[in-house]
């Protein structure tokens, strides 16, 4: 589904990603862990060109992001993105947040978009908040709306950029619950996270990143219980 | 001194100036409203050009803004009304010239208001829009602009008041707004004190309520 080949990304002189090769299969849940500054968020953001790719290649469902012939807007519509700080549109109701993409990008009519949004809000447990504005929601509710908004585009892949890092601890569970449901339905997901419990339980594969490269990857049991790389060992030992 | 005071209170000019004030105020308001409205359109384009990554577009916008903010509006009016008509043979009426000068001048200031408003919106909003597959134009139109516009309302209101006062300099191009008519009144009657008090009141009648409304809107918008 996603192939990353020798991906490099620099901000000025500062090289953040120094040659990443990775593969994400259909219906796979890949969790990316690592210390802050390791480049894991940048790696994720390169997968829908929110960051310009310095060199290398990202191929999603057969289409290369860096190919000038690729319609980047069309491709992005198929890649859902959930942000650490939600980035809901504060001037729109929850309903309008979720229906904006289907109406303006997928050209659905209002009735169709509303119906879709209602179903998605129901799925994330927020059907009763359809007419509320984001400002009146808790962090956990906001993030669940953001997930519904991304799902409204009917994406082939969902990217999560530390989706629970900005949440109060007691609200993390609701968001992880929604993500687990998604994973069980077979959604292809790449999740940058500090939630090791989630990575262990739901990840088909865990990637450990540090210093702009993938240091180690494998099944969650292998990474968490028997890490081979010295950096992985030291990172995980600090967490426990 | 006492004699003077008595004269001031019994002056016939309070009522005699009213028809002139009223006539002038209509033109003042017309030139301000139309000018600032066109200025908003100009300012929106120039302000968005200032946000462009394209150096040529950015450069044009910067030159425009600096040229109009760096020269007095009086000079701009003289240049447009006298200079242009002489050089290019375009004959503006005083009203056309006045509206155009307000539009061009306010446009430069509004451009900076627009740029500031758009820049104040968190960049996550643009990213959220783009990540859904919207074009940058769509994201600007549906997500950034509505939020930025709200924040622009207070400074736009200030600009309206500034432009309104700026129209007084159009007396030099014989635009028959409040100040021009009152100067004519004074030169015919030879009595400046009360007519100019009335002129000040004429401006305050518009500006004070504008400021009160503006402050109320600000409070409602929570900015």
Q: What is the mean pLDDT of residues B171-190?
A: 93
User: DSSP class of residue A108?
Assistant: -
- Using an 8 Å CB-CB cutoff, list chain A residues near B128: 81, 83, 87-89
Please tell me whether residue B89 adopts helix, strand or coil conformation: coil
- Using an 8 Å CB-CB cutoff, list chain A residues near B143: 89, 100
- Using an 8 Å CB-CB cutoff, list chain B residues near A81: 127-128, 131
Report the side by side order of strands in the sheet with A213-218.
Answer: A79-82, A157-161, A188-192, A29-33, A205-210, A213-218
Residue B132 CB: number of other CB atoms within 10 A? Answer: 27
pLDDT of the residue at A30? 96
Rg of chain B taking only CA atoms, in angstroms: 22
Query: Regarding beta strands A213-218 and A55-60, do their DSSP bridges make them parallel or antiparallel, or are they unpaired?
Result: unpaired
Rg of chain A taking only CA atoms, in angstroms: 18
- Positive or negative CA dihedral for B30, B31, B32, B37? positive
Q: Chain B, 19-78: which have a CB under 8 Å from a chain A CB?
A: none
Please tell me whether residue A60 adopts helix, strand or coil conformation: strand
d(CA A100, CA B143): 10
Confidence of residue B222 (pLDDT cuts 50, 70, 90): low
pLDDT of the residue at A240? 64
- Please compute, for residue B79, the number of CA atoms within 13 A of its CA located in the half-sphere on the CB side: 11
Span A112-131, pLDDT tens digits? 999 999 999 999 999 999 99
pLDDT of the residue at B2? 67
Proportion of chain B above pLDDT 70, given as a percent:
98
pLDDT of the residue at A85? 96
Assess if CATH 1.10.3720.10 describes domain B2-222.
Answer: yes
**In this complex, which of A79, A80, A85 lies closest to B124 when CB atoms are compared?**
A85
Please tell me whether residue A87 adopts helix, strand or coil conformation: coil
Cβ atoms of B80 and B92 within 8 Å: the answer is yes
pLDDT of the residue at B91? 84
pLDDT at B3 over 90: no
Q: Which two tokens stand for residue B76?
A: 């701009």
B120 touches chain A (CB under 8 A): no
Which of A41, A35, A51, A31 shows the shortest CA–CA distance to A161? A41
Confidence of residue B1 (pLDDT cuts 50, 70, 90): low
- How many A/B residue pairs have CB atoms within 8 Å? 59
**pTM of the full predicted structure?**
0.88
pLDDT at B223 over 60: no
pLDDT of the residue at B9? 82
A101 touches chain B (CB under 8 A): yes
d(CA B215, CA B212): 5
Q: What is the mean pLDDT of chain B?
A: 93
B136 touches chain A (CB under 8 A): no
CA distance A232 to chain B (A): 31
pLDDT of the residue at B5? 80
- Positive or negative CA dihedral for A155, A220, A33, A6? negative
Span A197-219, pLDDT tens digits? 999 999 999 999 999 999 999 99
pLDDT of the residue at B221? 79
d(CA A66, CA A55): 9
Confidence of residue B87 (pLDDT cuts 50, 70, 90): confident
Give percent helix, percent strand, percent coil of chain A, each to the nearest 5. 40, 25, 35
Contact A101 B146 (CB under 8 A): no
The torsion angles phi and psi of A149, rounded to 5 degrees, stand at -65, -40
Span B155-180, pLDDT tens digits? 999 999 999 999 999 999 999 999 99
Proportion of chain B above pLDDT 90, given as a percent:
84
Counting as low any pLDDT under 50, the low residues of chain A are: none
Instruction: Please classify residue B160 by burial: count the beta carbons closer than 10 Å to its beta carbon, then call 0-12 exposed, 13-18 middle and 19+ buried.
Output: buried
d(CA A152, CA A143): 14
d(CA B177, CA B214): 24
User: Angle formed by the axes of helices B145-166 and B94-119, to 10°?
Assistant: 140
d(CA A95, CA A92): 8
A53 touches chain B (CB under 8 A): no
d(CA A174, CA A178): 6
Measuring CA to CA, how many Å separate B60 from each of A7, B67, B79, B104, B169?
37, 11, 21, 14, 28
């Amino acid at each position: 589904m996603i192939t990353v080949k020798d991906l490099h990304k620099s901000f000025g002189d500062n090289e953040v990603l120094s040659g990443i090769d990775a593969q994400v299969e259909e219906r796979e849940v890949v969790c990316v862990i690592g210390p802050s500054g390791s480049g894991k968020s940048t790696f994720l953001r390169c997968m829908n060109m929110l960051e310009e790719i310095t060199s290398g290649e990202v191929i999603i469902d057969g289409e290369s992001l860096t190919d000038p012939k690729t319609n980047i807007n069309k491709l992005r519509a198929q890649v859902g993105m959930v942000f650490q700080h939600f980035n809901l549109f504060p001037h729109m109701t929850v309903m309008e947040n979720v229906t904006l993409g289907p109406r303006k990008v997928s050209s659905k009519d209002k009735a169709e978009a509303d119906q879709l949004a209602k179903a998605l809000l129901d799925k994330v447990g927020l059907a009763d908040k359809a007419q509320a504005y984001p400002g009146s929601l808790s962090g956990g509710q906001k993030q669940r709306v953001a997930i519904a908004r991304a799902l409204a585009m009917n994406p082939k892949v969902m990217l999560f950029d530390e989706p629970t890092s900005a949440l109060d601890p007691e609200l993390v569970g609701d968001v992880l619950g929604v993500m687990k449901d998604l994973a069980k339905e077979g959604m292809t997901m790449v999740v940058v996270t500090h939630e090791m419990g989630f990575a262990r339980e739901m990840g088909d594969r865990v990637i450990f990143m540090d210093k702009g490269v993938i240091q180690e990857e494998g099944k969650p049991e292998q990474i968490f219980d028997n890490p081979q790389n010295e950096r992985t060992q030291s990172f995980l030992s600090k967490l426990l | 001194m006492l004699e003077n005071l008595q004269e001031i209170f019994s002056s016939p000019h309070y009522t005699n100036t009213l028809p002139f004030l009223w006539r002038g105020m209509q033109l003042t308001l017309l030139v301000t409203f139309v000018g600032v409205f066109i200025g908003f359109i100009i300012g929106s384009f120039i302000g968005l050009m200032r946000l462009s990554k394209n150096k040529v577009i950015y450069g044009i916008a910067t030159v425009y803004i600096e040229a109009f903010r760096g020269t007095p509006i009086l000079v701009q009016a003289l240049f447009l009304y006298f200079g242009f008509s002489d050089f290019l043979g375009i004959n503006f009426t005083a009203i056309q010239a006045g509206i155009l000068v307000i539009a061009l001048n306010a446009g430069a200031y509004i451009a900076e208001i627009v740029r500031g408003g758009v820049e104040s919106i968190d960049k996550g909003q643009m990213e959220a829009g783009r990540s859904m597959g919207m074009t940058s134009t769509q994201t600007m139109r549906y997500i950034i602009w509505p939020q930025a516009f709200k924040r622009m309302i207070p400074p736009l209101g200030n600009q309206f008041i500034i432009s309104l006062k700026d129209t007084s300099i159009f007396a030099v191009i014989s635009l028959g707004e409040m100040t021009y008519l009152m100067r004519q009144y004074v030169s015919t009657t030879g009595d400046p004190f009360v007519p100019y008090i009335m002129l000040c009141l004429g401006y305050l009648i518009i500006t004070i309520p504008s400021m009160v409304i503006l402050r109320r809107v600000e409070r409602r918008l929570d900015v």
